Structure 1
């Protein structure tokens, strides 16, 4: 069996708020949670687990591939909720999207400060 991605733990300052944020933006589903984890499920059964570690959180980057309709819905959510977004990872082009790699892309932050990216075409 080839390796497939199953789950990861994302550090959060408020695991419930982070899980809700990802569910809203990614149109994901809450999953059964246990112990220190608040879980959500993406397509293909990939689980994101949010936990509140007892250490300072280091920013990580997570990119998600979505279709054009999902991308448009996410942009509308950003605007309605006042979520800042950028066309570039340096955060120099505020309130813009990019057209890199033959699709569209946008960068934004989650409640814990992680750098997130939505793209409509894979990089390769």
Structure 2
């Protein structure tokens, strides 16, 4: 049986502020405290666990989260991004400002969370060659 991702830990300056940023965009319930984490459960059983911590001195090293969502969920999430006036991009590294992408016959958008982590919302899994 292939391994399945159970959870991932994301470093933050304020675990609940960062977790709420994600839950508000995806329309999920309030994050819950789980030990030293603010946990955000996702639909497939994986949790994103935010931890208060600084790495590399006083800054947080950027991480990337890619969340696969339905077309309807993408519309809702993108609507929240636009409504809040959040900067967003079609591509990583802030390329294509104010745009979305249409890779793999789907749609995708990137937004930064309060700690500078890149959150990608996409409607189609990227096709790997080979």
User: How far apart, CA to CA, are the structure 2 residues paired with 1:33 and 1:2?
Assistant: 29
Larger mean CA deviation between 54-63 and 110-119 belongs to 54-63
User: How far apart, CA to CA, are the structure 2 residues paired with 1:34 and 1:104?
Assistant: 33
Out of 92, 95, 98, the residue aligned to residue 92 of structure 1 is: 95
Larger mean CA deviation between 11-20 and 52-61 belongs to 52-61
Q: Does 1:72 align with 2:80?
A: no
User: How far apart, CA to CA, are the structure 2 residues paired with 1:61 and 1:24?
Assistant: 18
User: How far apart, CA to CA, are the structure 2 residues paired with 1:36 and 1:79?
Assistant: 32
Partner of 1:29: 29
Shift of residue 28, structure 1, vs aligned partner = 3.1
- Unaligned runs of at least 5 residues, structure 1: none
TM-score w.r.t. the length of structure 1 is 0.91
Say which structure is richer in strand: 2
Q: Write the mapping of 1:85-124 to structure 2, written as runs, cut at 5 A.
A: 85-124=88-127
User: How far apart, CA to CA, are the structure 1 residues paired with 2:54 and 2:88?
Assistant: 29
Shift of residue 87, structure 1, vs aligned partner = 0.8
Q: Does 1:51 align with 2:54?
A: no
Question: Residues 88 and 111 of structure 2 are in contact (CA less than 8 Å); yes or no, is this contact kept in structure 1?
Answer: yes
User: How far apart, CA to CA, are the structure 1 residues paired with 2:31 and 2:88?
Assistant: 27
TM-score w.r.t. the length of structure 2 is 0.87
- Unaligned runs of at least 5 residues, structure 2: none
User: How far apart, CA to CA, are the structure 2 residues paired with 1:31 and 1:93?
Assistant: 31
Q: Give the ranges of 4+ consecutive aligned residues of structure 1 lying more than 4 Å apart after TM superposition.
A: none
Structure 1 counterpart SS, 2:96:
coil
Structure 1 counterpart SS, 2:95:
coil
Shift of residue 31, structure 1, vs aligned partner = 5.1
Matched pairs, number: 124
